[in-house]
Structure 1
Amino acid sequence: MLVQTSTPRLATTWLGFIAMCIGMFMAILDVQVVATSIAAIQKSVAIEPDLMSWLQTAYLIAEVIAIPLTGYLTRLLTGRWLFVFATTLFCVASIGCAASNSFEPLVLWRVMQGFAGGTLIPSVFAAVFVLFPAGSQGRATTVAGLLAVLAPTVGPIVGGWITETFSWHWLFLINVAPGILAGIVALLCLPKERPNPAARGTLDWLSLLMLAIALASLQIGLKQAPDQGWASSPVIGLLAVTAACVYGFAQRTLASSAPIVDLQTLGDRQFLVGCILSFVLGIGLFGSVYLMPVFLGFVRGQNALEIGSIMLVTGLAQLASAPIAVYLEQRLDPRLLIGAGFAIFALGLGLSAFQTVSTDAAQMVLPQILRGFAIMFCLLPPTRLALGRLPVEKVPDASGLFNLMRNLGGAIGLAIIDSIIYGRSEIHSQYIIEKLMAGDAATATMIGIPTKLFTAGQSVSFDQTTQALVAPFVQKAAITMSINEAWTFAAILTVLVLALLPLAHGTKAISNR
């Protein structure tokens, strides 16, 4: 793509760029709208609850693989045709998701969606600097940034409304018409370029394959560990494959003259700290978007629209804090903002770790406000911290790796969270049952069982009728306790990562923007 300066051509380019922003908006929105409808999809497709997180992790893993390929594909196809092909693939995959009636094809189509979405997002921000002269780049960045923030704000309520008004299938079908329109407009309006056939032989396919195998085997290993045990042969084998592939990937990438990911940039301490912050943020960010619908859908029994309405609080808080974060990010040391942002985000995560089976929407407002307010402070300052001191020629590749780390954290984090939820639930169930059998009326009250069935200090006989009565209460209480532990895990990790801040140097505030 070439920078356009003439007024008519620039106006047409703006139309093409807005079409690209619509594609990016769809890709970001897709994670949010699906999250609120996890329970509805699980019931409709008859998927085991402990497999539901694959709908999100499959998307995120595919994005992780696609992000470092974006530069290569841009050189090979041109940015214009890459966007058209990616949007087409996204639409086809969306139709495939809607047509799926079982777990396996749904996850497969989600992988294709994630791969397409993974190229759409970085392409937009790269296009800002390729399509526009310096005087227009600020406006283009603002348009892209607003849509990137708006998507997670409206996503929960939009997803809930679509599912309850129509069906969960329309969560995916809603992408098709705007996707087709965006692809046509981009094809007609974006500047034409010539592809670079010489780029065809520059991709390290073996490194890419090792990255994909490492991510897949790690996810499967983390998923199987709660059922089969961490010391079981399958889990050890999968983790060994992960380690071998990571080692091979690192060796080849560091030795390559044209790596798919420039790992040498991690030698810059400032950039390394930023990447770790991005990784941990991914765990908390995507983890919270997953944990809330699981609790509200499976424990509280609320529908997708109710879940979306409750989760709207986080998005509104994020939208409200965005201008404040932008203003302060341009004027203060990023380490101060990062410390405050991650501390507030950790507090929001930690407050959610005290939920009970009767926790309602009102009790979830404050944790959401804290998390939503903190998100922009956890996104913008770490970006400047990581990229602000790098040589200009290293910034494009480093930016891709930095953003990749957030998605990687989300994918791995969801697998760990699932391990906590479904690995610990059985332990909590046994504990609750033992308390009930001992006649612990306080435990009965806590999980919502009528206390008249229990006499304090006296053992209770669990006949079949009693077991059938208490089983739903025990299950909900056990999964709530496990969800609380997952919230605690994310909160502690978010606090611990602050210990890295002293290792980073400050960067100058940019007060003249």
Structure 2
Amino acid sequence: MPNQADATPIDGLRALPTAIGFMAMCVGMFMAILDVQVVATALPTIQSALTIAPSAMSWLQTAYLIAEVVAIPLTGLLTRALSMRWLFVGAVSLFTLASIGCAASAGFASLVAWRIVQGFAGGTLIPSVFAAVFVLFPVRQQALATTLAGVLAVLAPTVGPVVGGWITQTYSWHWLFLINVLPGVAAAVCASLMLPRGSANLTSLARLDAGALALLAVALASLEIGLKQAPQSGWGSLTVLGLLAASVASLAALVRRTLAGPSPLIDFAILRDRSFAIGCLLSFVLGIGLFGTIYLMPVFLALVRGEDPLEIGKIMLVTGVAQLLTAPVAIALERRIDGRILTVFGFLVFGLGLSMSTGQDGATDYDEMFWPQVVRGSAIMFCLLPPTRLALGHIPLARVPDASGLFNLMRNLGGAVGLALIDSVIYGRVEPIARGIRQSLLAGDAAVAVRIGIPLTRFLNRGTAPLDAETQAAVAHLVERAALIGAINEAWMLIALLTLIALVAVPFAGAPARPDLPAPGEVWPSTG
């Protein structure tokens, strides 16, 4: 059980300090999410500076993400042990220290080690913020607080390429990590002074089930590594199948051990709540869409259009601006309309925005990407705010930290699965599409030649005769580029379909609760 002081909606006298403390928590969460994106833009620069093998570079991201997903579901346990205030202060302080360690690293091993520490600390920040929405604020303020957290959670990866590209071009890669220091220190100090006090209960750590913790680490790490390897090695490879089997077996053992134990590491029993389970499913699918969008746009702009990271970031800002402009509308409607209706609306519009990107061609750039981004950005808060209320709004306050950890974990896992599926589509479909294009060109199909950008004068001068070897070699790069565009479009279609299919589950959820009063048998004492 969390400390009672951490399960107390704020009163009028504490409203402003607690709001300031919550904003400090949001800053910490923003830093943790932004860090992944800004580092991604500078991987080649870091590789060159530290003479790291190209095949090992992806571990700078993978190490962070694995540590993050292991930490997310532990948020409930750590909140009970340290209190919400001191968990956040400790996590953001550790994240800041690890950022300094990353900047000071002189080699691959030390950088990966500090990235693991960074990921673990950052992993607790996101669910802590969303748990704080329902623990710290009365119902009339929860929509606004959720929107603030949601905007920053989605805005961070949107502006990440701009920030990372600008820092890399203007300064050195070390500043990708050092930018966390001042905000981290400020967030820690502010949260320690402004958030409601709560006494620590360190005895709960003494009862920590080490076996369950090991199973959790194996399950999530195996899943992440297996999903990362699947596109390159193939889903049927022994390595991938072994990793996924280890993940499933470890997770099954963890659930069995957790449900049977008196002090569960993770409250899996809460998944028996139908609305919470459906909310987690929606969070998983939203993760596929959000992570997939943030991945597919830079891939297209870099590999097809040849844009640099800074220009890519500028183009992608449209999504963030649209999200910010529609956030007040989402807040107002969430207070007046059934959350299930808003969820259906949000996922329908988001799916439409995804499908609008399925017809990209070699000329697609800012103008062609503008309206799909506007549609997707306008839908994001409707995909985040009502499902969050649906999943967490009716949960007893004592269980909110555990529930928030699982809810946010599902979004990250959705992102991991989505990226693996997208890479599988791109890796698996480029060659078949290219083969089809080559066959059409050899058969003299002028329409295909026009579509991929072959000069008509060169093609039509041959009449219906097939292309010779010299011409085939000359247009090979156009064929490969067209095949990549086709594969990316198929990936857009995949995540659009998954987003729309998720709507089937919404009618089975109960009406979102309005937790104006304590849950049965629960008392809200005054804040200490």
For the superposition of Structure 1 and Structure 2, which TM-score range results when normalised by the shorter chain? 0.7 to 0.9
Change in Cα spacing, 1:303 to 1:37, as seen in structure 2 (3 Å) is farther
Q: Does 1:460 align with 2:462?
A: no
**Taking every aligned residue pair, what percent have the same amino acid on both sides?**
59
Change in Cα spacing, 1:321 to 1:139, as seen in structure 2 (3 Å) is closer
Q: 1:94 aligns with which of 92, 99, 103?
A: 99
Q: What is the rounded CA distance, in whole Å, between the counterparts of 1:84 and 1:395 in structure 2?
A: 19
- Between stretches 163-172 and 272-281, larger displacement belongs to 163-172
Q: 1:247 aligns with which of 230, 249, 252?
A: 252
Alignment match, 1:394: 399
Q: Which amino acid aligns with 2:464?
A: G
Q: Does 1:358 align with 2:385?
A: no
Q: Tell me the CA shift for residue 27 of structure 1.
A: 1.8
Change in Cα spacing, 1:14 to 1:374, as seen in structure 2 (3 Å) is closer
Q: What is the rounded CA distance, in whole Å, between the counterparts of 1:151 and 1:292 in structure 2?
A: 15
Q: Tell me the CA shift for residue 72 of structure 1.
A: 2.2
Paired residue secondary structure (1:300): coil
Q: 2:478 aligns with which of 467, 470, 473?
A: 473
Confirm or deny: 8 A CA contact 1:333 1:509 kept in the other structure: no
Q: Tell me the CA shift for residue 105 of structure 1.
A: 6.7
Q: What is the rounded CA distance, in whole Å, between the counterparts of 1:13 and 1:504 in structure 2?
A: 32
Q: Which runs of 5+ in 2 are unaligned?
A: 517-528
Paired residue secondary structure (2:358): helix
Q: Tell me the CA shift for residue 482 of structure 1.
A: 1.6
Q: Does 1:323 align with 2:328?
A: yes
Alignment match, 1:287: 292
Q: Does 1:200 align with 2:205?
A: yes
Paired residue secondary structure (1:214): helix
Q: What is the rounded CA distance, in whole Å, between the counterparts of 1:508 and 1:5 in structure 2?
A: 21
- Between stretches 230-239 and 267-276, larger displacement belongs to 230-239
Paired residue secondary structure (1:331): coil
Q: Tell me the CA shift for residue 284 of structure 1.
A: 0.3
* TM-score in terms of structure 1 length: 0.85
CA-to-partner distance for each residue in 1:254-313, whole Å, 9 max, x for gaps? 222322322222222222211111110110011101111111112211011211111011
Q: Tell me the CA shift for residue 52 of structure 1.
A: 8.0
Alignment match, 1:276: 281
Q: What is the rounded CA distance, in whole Å, between the counterparts of 1:90 and 1:151 in structure 2?
A: 16
Q: Tell me the CA shift for residue 367 of structure 1.
A: 0.9
Confirm or deny: 8 A CA contact 1:37 1:293 kept in the other structure: no
Q: What is the rounded CA distance, in whole Å, between the counterparts of 2:151 and 2:496 in structure 1?
A: 28
Q: Which amino acid aligns with 1:90?
A: F
Q: Tell me the CA shift for residue 188 of structure 1.
A: 5.9
Q: Does 1:176 align with 2:181?
A: yes
- Between stretches 375-384 and 143-152, larger displacement belongs to 143-152
Q: What is the rounded CA distance, in whole Å, between the counterparts of 1:303 and 1:188 in structure 2?
A: 42
Paired residue secondary structure (1:480): helix
CA-to-partner distance for each residue in 1:420-444, whole Å, 9 max, x for gaps? 2223223333333334444444333
Q: What is the rounded CA distance, in whole Å, between the counterparts of 1:130 and 1:392 in structure 2?
A: 6
Change in Cα spacing, 1:191 to 1:368, as seen in structure 2 (3 Å) is closer
Q: 1:310 aligns with which of 309, 315, 322?
A: 315
Q: Does 1:377 align with 2:382?
A: yes
Q: Which amino acid aligns with 1:233?
A: L
* TM-score in terms of structure 2 length: 0.83
Change in Cα spacing, 1:485 to 1:151, as seen in structure 2 (3 Å) is same
Change in Cα spacing, 1:400 to 1:36, as seen in structure 2 (3 Å) is same
Q: Does 1:349 align with 2:392?
A: no
- Between stretches 479-488 and 437-446, larger displacement belongs to 437-446
Q: What is the rounded CA distance, in whole Å, between the counterparts of 1:378 and 1:30 in structure 2?
A: 24
Change in Cα spacing, 1:45 to 1:181, as seen in structure 2 (3 Å) is same
Alignment match, 1:258: 263
Paired residue secondary structure (1:353): coil
Q: What is the rounded CA distance, in whole Å, between the counterparts of 1:6 and 1:339 in structure 2?
A: 35
Q: What is the rounded CA distance, in whole Å, between the counterparts of 2:112 and 2:468 in structure 1?
A: 44
Paired residue secondary structure (2:356): helix
- Between stretches 312-321 and 398-407, larger displacement belongs to 398-407
Cα RMSD, aligned residues only: 3.8
Alignment match, 2:524: none
Q: Which amino acid aligns with 1:236?
A: L
Q: What is the rounded CA distance, in whole Å, between the counterparts of 1:136 and 1:276 in structure 2?
A: 25
The alignment covers a number of residue pairs equal to 509
Change in Cα spacing, 1:95 to 1:215, as seen in structure 2 (3 Å) is same
Q: What is the rounded CA distance, in whole Å, between the counterparts of 1:145 and 1:165 in structure 2?
A: 30
Q: Which runs of 5+ in 1 are unaligned?
A: none
CA-to-partner distance for each residue in 1:221-262, whole Å, 9 max, x for gaps? 334334443333223222222221222122122222322322
Alignment match, 1:64: 69
Alignment match, 2:237: 232
Q: 1:300 aligns with which of 286, 293, 305?
A: 305
Confirm or deny: 8 A CA contact 1:273 1:386 kept in the other structure: yes
